[in-house]
Amino acid sequence: MDHIQINHCDIAPNNLLEANGQALLIDLDLAKESSTKESLSSKNNKPSPRTGHKAYMSIQELLAITSGGPQHQHSIRDDIESLFYCLLLEMTKEAPHDSLQKWSIRDAFSLLGIKEELAENAIKFSARFEVSTREFYKELKPAVIAWYEALFVDNLEGSSLVKCVRSILSEAKDELDDNGGTKNDSATENKRLKRQATHPR
């Protein structure tokens, strides 16, 4: 929703729909204009308290909740991080040994610790993700790793993060579209190299 300067603020699987091949975001009760803390649905010009799905909240949102400090000013990065967690949990939800699936029953303090550890150790994340990913989603592994790196290794923000993730997902879509046919590996590689040149480490 970056192009219309609105942050959703409650991205979770229940608020994601698919129609005619297009992804749709619903439930805009907590949505805010990018330049303000004010909820679009709030009254008396007061920001509404953050509620929703803690399992999909960004690290910064959880920090604000657990610290008892001022309400976190939600950004597009928070939305993109939440969307990352949606995909991550969907891809690993049949791994019974993986504690990722217990996020929904964790409190904010536990989730904060888990996510901070996840974000601070790229090697550990990659190894854990590799063994936990469902076979159905194996072709999306490179996209998720690249998305993780954009968020927690390169620490991209704002429009740079939006452009990077769009490029990552475009590459993933091309790979999936080519599945079963003749893969255009050179075109996909060119996109990957262009993304790396735009967002160097």
Half-sphere exposure of 21 (CA within 13 A, CB side): 2
pLDDT at 40 over 60: no
Q: What is the DSSP letter of 135?
A: G
Torsion-angle region of 9 (φ positive above 0: left; ψ -120 to 50: alpha; else: beta): left
pTM of the model: 0.80
Of the two residues 4 and 44, the one the predictor is more confident about is 4
pLDDT computed for residue 4 by the predictor: 57
pLDDT computed for residue 1 by the predictor: 53
Q: What is the pLDDT of residues 83-97, one digit of tens each?
A: 999 999 899 876 555
Share the mean pLDDT of the chain.
80
pLDDT computed for residue 22 by the predictor: 80
What tokens were used for 46? 């007061």
**Mean pLDDT comparison of 26-30, 36-40, 128-132, 142-146, highest-scoring range:** 142-146
Domain residue extents for the chain: 2-198
pLDDT at 24 over 60: yes
From the candidate CATH numbers 1.10.510, 1.10.3470, 3.30.2420, 1.25.40, the one assigned to the domain spanning 2-198: 1.10.510
pLDDT computed for residue 37 by the predictor: 52
Burial of 20: CB neighbours in 10 Å, binned 0-12, 13-18, 19+: exposed
pLDDT at 148 over 90: yes
